[in-house]
Amino acid sequence: MRRIVAVTIVFVFAWLTVANANETQNRALAEELLDAMEMQETIEKSFEMVKEMIPAQMKAMGVSEEATSDEDKEAAQKMTDLIMKEVSWDNLKDDYITIYAETFTEEELRGLVAFYKSHVGRKFIEKQPELMKRSMQISQMKMMELMPKIQALTQEMEDQETARPESDE
């Protein structure tokens, strides 16, 4: 009986050691992949694009630059600074490594690293900011086209609510 327990313990420790080594290897590969993908630069560029789009969004919503008080601008800047700090690469990196390490196998991570280090992978990374910018512009345009429909639906729902007889509860 003791022999079975001892063998079981040895197997459990061996399995834990291998599992830990695999996890460490996957985390290292995930970090290498994120570096190859230039994820930090991508995230920083994304935030800059969003910051640049805020004034256009406010204008589209009917908020003029002149109508916005200095206090509102200061508050908006403080919020933007807070968001930029909290979702900085330094705060996100470990979470991203975990996500990639848990999502992809070692073989998949190696393949992705090879791709992103290849000529085509480098071209993809180089062109990704333009793809993101254009995608965001399309999404923004679609949302602006959708706004009148949303407003009409909201008005319709309000009209139905107003027309509904009050119930005796």
Structure tokens that stand for 73 in this block: 């601008």
| Residue 125 contacts residue 37 (beta carbons within 8 Å) | yes
* Backbone Cα Rg of the chain: 26
Average pLDDT over residues 148-165: 87
Q: Is the dihedral of CA 54, 60, 64, 67 positive or negative?
A: negative
Structure tokens that stand for 58 in this block: 């406010």
Alpha carbon separation from 65 to 61, 72, 80 (Å, rounded): 12, 11, 17
Q: Which of 7-11, 40-44, 92-96 has the lowest mean pLDDT?
A: 7-11
**Model confidence pLDDT, tens digit, residues 63-97:** 666 656 777 778 778 877 888 888 888 999 999 99
**Model confidence pLDDT, tens digit, residues 157-166:** 988 888 887 7
Q: Is the pLDDT of residue 54 over 80?
A: no
Query: Residue 72 in 3-state DSSP?
Result: helix
Task: Report pTM.
Answer: 0.61
Q: Is the dihedral of CA 19, 107, 40, 58 positive or negative?
A: negative
